[in-house]
Structure 1
Amino acid sequence: MPSVPFHYVDLRTFCYATEDEKRVEQALRTFLPEEYEVERVTNTGFHGDRIVVLSARVDNADDVRHVLSRLTDLPNIDAVIDQLEDRVDDNNSLFLRLDKQAAFRGEVRLGEGLTLRAKVEAYPAKREKAVANAREALEAVRDEAI
């Protein structure tokens, strides 16, 4: 895939008081290139409990390729490609929810716990063009992985 039709990819997860922050960070790092910086913001939950928001923005083309290549490990990547009409919003952002427990084990699954938001390039900035670009990119990384 010579060019990547994404401006950036944001990955975010929450670490609740009952979770080990290092393990939650390890889950997030499943999708990140090595030694990638993870931002931490500490908040307080409704009941006074500590919640740490862990996030990373990937905006370098090679690093975005890395994140996309991890998505090809999804056992249902073809279903995700088929659902792009529902997964790309009117602001040309692609959304996926990923399983935090699976990510901790180094696996890639759809589920709860991790949020991936990828801003899709589209000229002109129309949703239909963004869906087509996202489809082309995901199919390309899927085909490279085969």
Structure 2
Amino acid sequence: MASVPFHYVDLRAFCYATEDELRVERALRTFLPEGFEVERVENEGFHGDRILVLSARVENADAVRHVLDVLADIDLDDIAAELDERIDDNCSLFLRLDKQAAFKEQVERGEGLELRAKVEAYPAKKERAVENATDALEARS
């Protein structure tokens, strides 16, 4: 099996007071391997409303491959073309995904879910991270 050029993938979703926690968790789980644990942190909004932050970190190679396989449902060529803007100087790749679509087990770019993937790069330079991420996405398209 090919190596995975990501150290880990973080997924995060905010569940606002007007949203159903189970539905938001279901949307997040669209990207996670079965049985994966989702962490919950309760915060308070500006007006005192409850905001629940649901998050998960995927670190082992098989689980990262699972996330990448799910992401293959979107146009990875478009993302590959934007990698220079989507990878920061710390070699992290950022994507926003549609929470409503994810709830329906569809994968689309949009708002509501945040994905951050730490790209392997030696030396740890943005240019090298862009190359590695490009190779990884092209291999999956």
TM-score by structure 1 length?
0.95
Task: State the Cα distance separating 1:54 from its structure 2 match.
Answer: 0.1
CA distance in 2, matches of 1:127, 1:77: 19
CA distance in 2, matches of 1:141, 1:65: 10
Match of 2:50 in 1: 50
- The alignment covers a number of residue pairs equal to 141
CA distance in 1, matches of 2:76, 2:2: 21
Match of 1:124 in 2: 123
Match of 2:85 in 1: 86
Match of 2:24 in 1: 24
Amino acid at match of 2:89: D
Identity of aligned residues (%): 72
Match of 1:66 in 2: 66
For residue 62 of structure 1, give the secondary structure of its aligned residue in structure 2: helix
Gaps (5+ residues) in structure 2? none
Task: State the Cα distance separating 1:140 from its structure 2 match.
Answer: 1.1
TM-score by structure 2 length?
0.98
Amino acid at match of 1:38: V
CA distance in 2, matches of 1:67, 1:126: 24
For residue 2 of structure 1, give the secondary structure of its aligned residue in structure 2: coil
Match of 1:34 in 2: 34
Task: State the Cα distance separating 1:141 from its structure 2 match.
Answer: 1.8
CA distance in 2, matches of 1:18, 1:140: 40
Task: Note the aligned Cα RMSD (angstroms).
Answer: 0.7
Task: State the Cα distance separating 1:81 from its structure 2 match.
Answer: 0.9
For residue 37 of structure 2, give the secondary structure of its aligned residue in structure 1: coil
For residue 51 of structure 1, give the secondary structure of its aligned residue in structure 2: strand
CA distance in 2, matches of 1:66, 1:140: 14
Match of 2:140 in 1: 141
Runs of 4+ in 1 over 4 A off after TM superposition: none
CA distance in 1, matches of 2:34, 2:97: 19
For residue 85 of structure 2, give the secondary structure of its aligned residue in structure 1: helix
Is the Cα–Cα contact under 8 Å of residues 33 and 63 in structure 2 kept in the other structure?
yes
CA distance in 1, matches of 2:76, 2:136: 12
